[in-house]
Amino acid sequence: MRIDIITVLPELLRSPFEASILKRAIEAGHIEVYLHNLRDYSDKPHKQVDDYQFGGGAGMVLMIEPIEKCIENLKSERIYDEVIFLTPDGERLQQKMANQLSMKQNIIMLCGHYKGVDQRVRDQFITKEISIGDYVLSGGELAAAVLSDAIIRLLPGVLNDETSALTDTFQDNLLAPPIYTRPANYKGWKVPEILRSGNLPAIEKWRDEQAYERTAKLRPDLLNEDH
Ligand code: 6GU
């Protein structure tokens, strides 16, 4: 899989891909991630990529021309399954969408900034608009990092068996059960006896019950939702 991210702030997006699981996924060849600085596609004297909005109003708007140049340049090299615009008014990201996107080959992510982008960009080039939640960020970069992480960790081989995505909170509409590591007794705070019993079927049953109880208590909305 390949992800191309178009942004006016590539420096904001580097570190998430240079640490831990995402770094390893890239090094192991499970995923390629490329950052494209929109300014490199500007023909203006000062590499300007934004302008005032027609009709008046505060806030700058990303112009269509450099965005088209960048997208067309990428499209001349390969076919893209999705051209995603990260925007607070997009469809809210949920696990199901991450699962679906993880099965694609090539994806472009365009990060919104300032007031947003010229509507014609959305009309002409964008196939999917995604928000990561009902709050406003100063740009789409952190959202693109979140979306990329949610997708990449699902790719075959990225996680090992122990950290398998199959046991994730949300993957089966349930929160994950409580987990523990050594020591078994810390200052009198003990690990549940069942987890140390070695009785695997009983442990599995306990975990299922705990997952259900936690979900009913903390996120009852998940129990009657289709993710
Ligand atoms: Cl994708 N972009 C911005 N700027 N704010 C957001 C968002 C995206 N998702 C939630 N808030």
Residue with tokens 């890239």: 26
Say what percent of the chain tops pLDDT 90.
90
pTM to 2 decimals?
0.94
Amino acid identity at 203: I
What span, in angstroms and rounded, lies between the C-alpha atoms of 219 and 12?
A: 33
How high does pLDDT run on average in the chain? 95
Three-state DSSP class for 127? coil
Mutate to test the pocket of ligand 1, among 8, 9, 86, 142 (most ligand atoms within 8 A of CB): 86
- DSSP E strands: which ranges in 8-47? 32-37
- Ligand 1 pocket check for 132: Cβ under 6 Å: yes
In three-state secondary structure terms, 117 is strand
Q: Which CATH superfamily is domain 169-223 in?
A: tRNA(m1g37)methyltransferase, domain 2 (1.10.1270.20)
The string of pLDDT tens digits covering residues 137-147 is 999 999 999 99
Ligand 1 atom, smallest distance to 139 CA:
4
Check pocket membership of 54 for ligand 1, CB cut-off 6 A: no
CA of 130 to the centre of ligand 1 (A): 8
Residue pointed to by tokens 């960048």: 70
Question: CATH 1.10.1270.20 region(s) of the chain?
Answer: 169-223
Quick: pLDDT tens for 8-46.
999 999 999 999 999 999 999 999 999 999 999 999 999
Average pLDDT over residues 212-222: 97
- What is the tens place of the pLDDT at every residue in 40-60? 999 999 999 999 999 999 999
Question: 2-152: what CATH class?
Answer: alpha beta
| Each residue's pLDDT tens digit, 74-121 | 999 999 999 999 999 999 999 999 999 999 999 999 999 878 999 999
Tell me: pLDDT of 161 over 90. Answer: no
* CATH 3.40.1280.10 residue spans of the chain: 2-152
